Structure formats: structure tokens, C-alpha cells
């Protein structure tokens, strides 16, 4: 699956798209594929603060529980309520299914993240393929 070129990526396999100062965050196809069937998503509340490179929640799959790391710092403006009852939407469409939206406190953080080509290179180095 190609990684959207307009997104930025973390080495922990989160993606973020930017619309003005609002970042939309989810997990990559590589992450959901590694996790297997996702059964639960734990997220912060609207109004909570998140910090770049710090944990903001977790994803539970049939295989394991994995922490979610925020690619940027800011305040949570929305959570994807549909994931409470349909967490498997992430498996079906990882690059279209967002988890949280954040108003960035430091938009420069977005530019320091991996672009699609760098992320794909990172994955191939990590998997040896």
C-alpha cells in the first residue's frame, strides 16, 4: 500500500496530515498489519494536551497492546468516536481512519517528521526487505 505523500510519519508508525494548524493523526498500514485485528483504541479526551514523541493512548489487537505516540505537541480538538464501536476500521483503511485531531502548538514539529519516501525507506531497513 502506498503511503500518502501529503502525510508525515513517525518512526513509531503514526501518520499525521495537516490542515492549517489542525493535525489529523492515525496509524500506518505497516502498524495495523503488524498488530493484526484491532479490538480496542484508548484515546485522550478532547481538550487534553499531547506532547511530541510522548504516549497519548494505545491500540489493542488480538496480538498485543501498543502505545500510540503523538507526532506533534498540542491540544486534542476531536477524537474519532466511531472507533469505540468499530476499532477494526483502522485495519480496513489505516490511512483514511484517523484517531485524534490536534491543534498544533508548534507547527515546525510537522516539518521535522519523515516524508513518505523516508518512511518507506525506514520500514524497508527495519524489516530487511
The reported pTM is: 0.96
**What class does CATH assign to 8-127?**
mainly beta
In order, the DSSP letters of 75-118 are: EEEEE-GGGGT-TTHHHH-TTT---EEEEES-THHHHTSB-HHH
Q: Tell me, what's the pLDDT at 71?
A: 98
- What number is the average pLDDT over the span 90-117? 97
Strand arrangement of the beta sheet that strand 14-19 belongs to: 8-9, 14-19, 22-27, 100-104, 74-79, 49-50
| pLDDT (tens digit per residue) in 63-73 | 999 999 999 99
Q: Tell me, what's the pLDDT at 1?
A: 63
Q: Tell me, what's the pLDDT at 25?
A: 98
> Residue 63: exposed, middle, or buried by beta-carbon count in 10 A (0-12, 13-18, 19+)?
exposed
| pLDDT (tens digit per residue) in 6-57 | 999 999 999 999 999 999 999 999 999 999 999 999 999 999 999 999 999 9
Give me the percent of the chain exceeding a pLDDT of 70. Answer: 99
Tell whether the model's pLDDT for residue 124 goes beyond 90: yes
Quickly state the pLDDT bin for 2 (edges 50, 70, 90): confident
Amino acid at each position: 500500500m502506498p503511503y500518502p505523500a501529503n502525510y508525515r510519519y513517525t518512526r513509531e508508525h503514526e501518520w499525521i496530515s495537516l490542515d492549517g494548524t489542525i493535525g489529523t493523526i492515525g496509524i500506518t498500514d505497516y502498524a495495523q498489519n503488524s498488530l493484526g485485528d484491532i479490538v480496542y483504541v484508548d484515546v485522550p479526551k478532547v481538550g487534553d494536551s499531547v506532547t511530541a514523541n510522548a504516549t497519548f493512548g494505545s491500540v489493542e489487537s488480538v496480538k498485543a497492546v501498543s502505545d500510540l505516540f503523538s507526532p506533534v505537541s498540542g491540544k486534542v480538538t476531536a477524537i474519532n468516536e466511531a472507533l469505540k464501536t468499530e476499532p477494526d476500521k483502522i485495519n480496513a483503511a489505516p490511512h483514511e481512519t484517523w484517531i485524534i485531531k490536534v491543534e498544533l502548538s508548534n507547527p515546525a514539529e510537522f516539518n521535522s517528521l519523515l516524508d513518505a519516501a523516508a518512511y518507506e525507506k525506514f520500514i524497508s531497513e527495519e524489516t530487511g526487505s
